[in-house]
Homo-oligomer: A and B are copies of this chain.
C-alpha cells in the first residue's frame, strides 16, 4: 500500500509545473503570491493524480488530462482558501493559512483568481489532444462540482449548533463538500482520456464512492488515530460538537447513554475525561465500527465499479487508491 504515495508523487511535478505556468502571469505580485502559496506549500495532489491515472486507465494518455487535472487541484485550493476564511482556520498544510498571511481581502481574491484560472486552464487545453466537446464536458463536470462544493459548505455551516442532523443530511453534505470534486476529478480524467459515456459515468461513481470513504475516514481518524500521527488532539470533533457520521449514529444507537453523549456534544468546555467518555460510548454502541464499515463498503463498491475497465496497471492503481483511502492514518 505504501507505494500509492509514491505513485501519486510521480504525477506531482507535471501538475505543479502546469499550475505554476498558469499562475505565473498573475499581477500584482501579492495576488500572485497568495494564489500560488498553497500549491508551493505542498499537498497530496490526490485529485489531479486521480484525473491523470483515470485518463490512462480508460485507454488515454496522462497528457490528455493534465490541464483538467490541474484545474481540479486549483478548484480544491480555491475552496481551501475560502473555507479557511469562513471557518477561521489559522493553519493549512503546516503553514499559516492564506488569510493569515495576506489578510481576508486578498485571500478572497486569491480564491476567486484560482477559480477563474481553473476554468481558463481547461479551456486552453491542447486542441490536438482534446476536442471542443471533451473540453465542454470537462468544464461542465467542474462547474457542477463547484456549485456542489458551495452548497456542501453552506449545508455544513447550517449544521452548526444543530444536533438533530440525520444520516441522509450528513451524506448529502459530505458528498457535495468532498465527494463531488473527487468524482469530478475521475470524471474529467475519463472524459479527457476518451472514454465512452458509460465508462465516464462509472468513473464518476468510483470517485464519488472513494470521496465518501475519504470523508468518513476523516471522522474515524479523529477518534481512532493518535495525536502525534494526526497532528491534532484526538476527539477534537467531539470537543467542537461536530455532527460526524459517528456522532449521528451514536446519538440514535447509544440507548441510555445517548443523553450523556448529547450533553458532551453540546458542551463547549469539555474536559479530556468528557471526550474520553464520549469515545467510550461511541465505541460501546458500535458507532465507530458502523462508520468504519460504511467506509469499507464504499471502498468495496468503488473497486467493483472499476470492473468496467480492462485490466491495466492504471486500473490496479485506482484499486489501490481506494484501499489507500482507508489505510491512511492522517
Contacts and interface: CB of A to CB of B under 8 A. Distances in A.
Interface string A126-141: 0000011101100110
Contact of A147 (B113, B135, B143, B155): B113
Given A30-B158, A31-B151, A106-B154, A140 B115 contact: no
A171 to B, nearest CB: 14
- The A contact surface, by secondary structure, is helix
Q: How many copies does the complex hold?
A: 2
Contacts of A31: 150-151, 154
Contacts of A104: 85-86
Interface stretch (A38-46, A117-125, A300-308): A117-125
Nearest to A147: B116
Interface in A246-284: none
A146 interface: yes
A108 interface: yes
Chain A interface residue number, banded: 35 or more
A151 B112 contact: no
A27 B147 CA distance: 10
B26 A151 contact: yes
A116 B28 contact: no
Given A30-B154, A120-B147, A154-B28, A82 B140 contact: no
